[in-house]
Structure 1
């Protein structure tokens, strides 16, 4: 529970920084920050290494969060060199990465729609109907002429889905916990560092930067901002810098590293709301969710089929945004080859995860997702 609360708190602080853009920190857009799954493998490996050296649970936590704090300097440093790196992160590359991220997210959405990976009634007709109903309400309201109906389509769709789940017996509200308020503690387990654990974590940070560049590019395009001028490069610089600062905050709070999420790009596309002021409110809400655990626990209990139906169209919009970036300019034969290789590698690994099963664990951790292998 503490880890979840601190992760929400760190995500809120990072989202607020991204939206606010103070002293050049942040992209000045709605850029949701969240705990990155990419660090899971190297984090577990680092913890097992500490255990093998005779360290206890507290030593493991102190080492992991100490290393994560230092590794957060990687995006901070890289953000200072965005100008030359922009020659590498072309629209062809960033568009392909964004499309592959969206495709990966659609898989997650479908699994949730079916009830969740470990559900006993996986893909039952009741789960399919619940997700379809939620999706139908969102699509219907998104096409409405009334502006407020369009803006609230996602929230209303999820609310209707929860009510339907309750009426059908698929949603039961459980205990929200005994802790009403939780204050954060900085480095509660202490601070340790080891270069052998740092190197793979730093490498994963570099891979996450590639994804973040794609996310920020798609966000700019959907928000009707230029993606090829000095202002855009400043947004990239501030966004990557905020990623690093957010990871530092997460490590200090005993939470795992954050990264910019692509999911909110689909919400922006659907609702048409791209104001960074809204991003500030979202950041504050996430901070409150971290400080008041019962609120976060309530949201966590939303039925998986409802979330799956709600996110299906959003993640589809992420794929569309990536394709839109790719097709902004006419594709040469070389460009087509690059896109083909990116999608081939990304979808290949996504479709057959066993492809990397005989490689070293770190290779699987780095290239186990469609976005990183294709990118």
Structure 2
């Protein structure tokens, strides 16, 4: 009656007669870190500092000190060794700690207190003596992220509807994004690629991306999203993870907006998740309805397990390990002191080979002069070319010359 062609495992039939290799690595979650496509098969590998477990195919950290979790419970910041179920209070007697982040290489913890309307920092070795970083023109700082390469912090303000940036000591600051925001919440940085990501509870809800200088703003996620609470980045795989407390989901997407996956969708597992962190093969999250911290496979969403329970209002969570913050080049420091900028030197997003390495920025009441480095007074401060590059076609060309 005829014939039928079939292919061996790892190949698929094309034109009814020919076998073509299946690219298993097209699935971004095929391996936890590196996927190498082979004829009819594939192989997983790991980045420097990690070693492949040949039984589980997971990458385990083999360099750096032991990993631990930092999490906030409104009045305290607590520390828990990874793999342990006991924790200690690291920072006590706080009013309402909401957001957390760390600079691992400088061993510094940053946090925001929404009741006091301030952002603080402290050495992890001496958390009892904090420094005030930001204490003015701030109202509801619900998200906080540290750029560990360029020495800046970024935060969202849900009441002022802004995304801002400042040096880690708070001496220089700027409102980076102020238009089109409704209720910005969580925020995370990718200083190696010079990108910034944040969630917005507005109508419609979304996850947005821009450069660390506010340029090239774009929406990454706009559908099937309602209350995006927490967002985090796995730097090694280049994937964003977020939790949605209305849809009861935990999802991931590439930093370019491709390959979206819903890992968990369950009202009992995720009744009201707040924040999350990733490390090695696991994703960790806090949940204020389940009153605890939970974990699951960051590839499949399976193997859900309680990390610690019976907490009072667990909010933010951070994974502390040196491999979570790989080193990178600081163009603002390499080019010349502060990139030749009078005020702030901010990394520019690397969207193509012609992208400038950085641009200069001025405080909110000033604007850039014609030399694109110094700051002058003017009536067009709101139209800062760093914040709105698309409105100033000459800016990218001039900053390109400066950056390179």
Q: TM-score, normalised by structure 1?
A: 0.24
Higher-Rg member (1/2)? 2
Higher helix share: 1
Q: TM-score, normalised by structure 2?
A: 0.22
Larger RCO (alpha carbons 8 Å, 6+ apart): 1
